[in-house]
């Protein structure tokens, strides 16, 4: 039987540490605060921001949300970001994706002050990560690295295959793993012979958003499988991995829910505390 990589348990441990960090900051008169912007009424985003708000309040991080009408103009969104950049009581700013297609999300990410960019999506932070310089690391890749480290999975020299090349998961994750000396291959919708590539992976990470896409014939015996996918079916949440079948073949696997998801939120809280600490140093 494989070892189940328990993201829920590890995130609990990290959140306990964050709570202590927040208390220390409070004693110095700093009250870490996260501002979340959501545009429109995407139902999944509503759940995500509710979870973020709850997680903040549990560790003592202050939280303020800005729900904008889906018809908002780009300059109004940028104006709000500028206002939040200048507010001294706000340490972290997060723009919940997706936003309506007519708005330019990359332009919005560019506007977020790099010192408050707790999601790490400002291209300056992205570039720093690529160059292995200190920066905010996007929360999902950061959470995956923490989970791999907790279970002492050797990254140096490991053959890692990532399914998915999005700016929020696949690409920054590849940078994180390269920075840890792994050999990284990224597959996407145009990749040929995916099974041939995935079945050679020591560590296979799927972030494509296709329910039960990864089947047992796609994984190597004894591999580590990380499932980032969150797919809402009528029967409930499932990942990208056909968990019941794949688990019999691998050494380590993350469940959905309870794997990568809770780690993402824990690393967001972590990044807000880093931002609050950095502001103190300025
Ligand atoms: P995304 O922006 O839609 O990107 C999906 C990626 O998968 C794209 O690069 C796409 O390739 C690739 N892809 C799609 N179908 C494929 C196929 N059949 N074979 C190979 N590659 C394929 O998605 P995302 O935002 O990265 O999210 C991916 C999944 O992770 C979603 O289920 C999302 O809900 C989940 N997620 C979970 C967390 C968490 O905390 N657990 C955080 C973020 C996202 P192209 O580039 O060629 O189109």
Count other Cβ atoms within 10 Å, centred on residue 23. 11
How many angstroms separate the CA atoms of 187 and 185, rounded?
A: 7
Confidence at 277, pLDDT banded by 50, 70, 90:
very high
With a cut of 80, say whether residue 281 has pLDDT above it.
no
How many angstroms separate the CA atoms of 114 and 260, rounded?
A: 25
Residue 157 φ/ψ, nearest 5 degrees: 80, -5
- Structure confidence by residue, pLDDT tens digits, 199-213: 999 999 999 999 999
With a cut of 70, say whether residue 280 has pLDDT above it.
no
Q: CB of 245 closer than 6 A to ligand 1?
A: no
Q: CB of 18 closer than 6 A to ligand 1?
A: no
- Give the residue numbers annotated as catalytic, written as ranges: 52, 96, 119
- Structure confidence by residue, pLDDT tens digits, 135-188: 999 999 999 999 999 999 999 999 999 999 999 999 999 999 999 999 999 999
Which residues does residue 163 pair with via DSSP β-bridges, in sequence order?
187, 206
pLDDT of 157 reads 98
Q: CB of 229 closer than 6 A to ligand 1?
A: yes
Q: CB of 256 closer than 6 A to ligand 1?
A: no
Closest Cα to atom 5 of ligand 1: 208
Gap from CA of 165 to ligand 1 centroid (Å) = 7
pLDDT of 282 reads 56
Closest Cα to atom 19 of ligand 1: 189
Q: DSSP E strands: which ranges in 78-235?
A: 92-95, 159-163, 183-187, 203-206, 224-227, 231-233
- Structure confidence by residue, pLDDT tens digits, 73-93: 999 999 999 999 999 999 999
Q: CB of 144 closer than 6 A to ligand 1?
A: no
Average pLDDT across the chain, whole number: 97
Gap from CA of 208 to ligand 1 centroid (Å) = 3
pLDDT of 220 reads 98
CA distances 6 to 9, 17, 148, 277, Å, are: 6, 17, 11, 29
Question: What domains are defined for the chain?
Answer: 28-114 (3.40.50.10860), 139-261 (3.40.50.720)
Closest Cα to atom 18 of ligand 1: 189
- Structure confidence by residue, pLDDT tens digits, 44-74: 999 999 999 999 999 999 999 999 999 999 9
DSSP assignment string, 18-61 = HHHHHHHHHHTT---EEEEEEES--HHHHHHHHHHHHHHHHHT-
Q: Is 194 exposed, middle or buried (0-12, 13-18, 19+ CB in 10 A)?
A: middle
């Amino acid at each position: 039987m494989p070892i189940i990589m328990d993201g829920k348990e590890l995130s609990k441990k990290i959140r306990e540490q964050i709570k202590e960090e927040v208390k220390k900051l409070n004693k110095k008169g700093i009250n870490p605060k996260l501002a979340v912007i959501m545009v429109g009424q995407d139902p999944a985003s509503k759940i995500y921001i509710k979870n973020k708000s709850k997680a903040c309040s549990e560790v003592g991080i202050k939280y303020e949300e800005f729900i904008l009408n889906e018809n908002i103009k780009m300059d109004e969104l940028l104006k709000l970001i500028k206002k939040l950049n200048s507010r001294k009581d706000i340490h972290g700013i997060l723009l919940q994706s997706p936003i309506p297609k007519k708005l330019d999300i990359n332009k919005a990410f560019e506007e977020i002050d790099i010192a408050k960019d707790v999601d790490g999506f400002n291209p300056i932070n992205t570039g720093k990560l690529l160059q292995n310089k200190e920066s905010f690391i996007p929360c999902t890749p950061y959470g995956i690295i923490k989970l791999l480290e907790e279970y002492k999975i050797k990254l140096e020299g490991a053959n890692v295959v990532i399914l998915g090349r999005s700016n929020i998961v696949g690409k920054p994750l590849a940078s994180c793993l390269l920075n840890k000396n792994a050999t990284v291959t990224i597959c996407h919708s145009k990749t040929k012979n995916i099974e041939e590539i995935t079945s050679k992976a020591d560590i296979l990470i799927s972030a494509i958003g296709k329910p039960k896409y990864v089947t047992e014939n796609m994984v190597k015996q004894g591999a580590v499988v990380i499932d980032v996918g969150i797919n809402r079916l009528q029967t409930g949440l499932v990942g990208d991995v056909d968990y019941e079948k794949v688990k019999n073949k691998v050494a380590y696997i993350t469940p959905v829910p309870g794997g990568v998801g809770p780690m993402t939120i824990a690393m967001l809280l972590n990044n807000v505390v880093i931002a609050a600490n950095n502001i103190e140093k300025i």
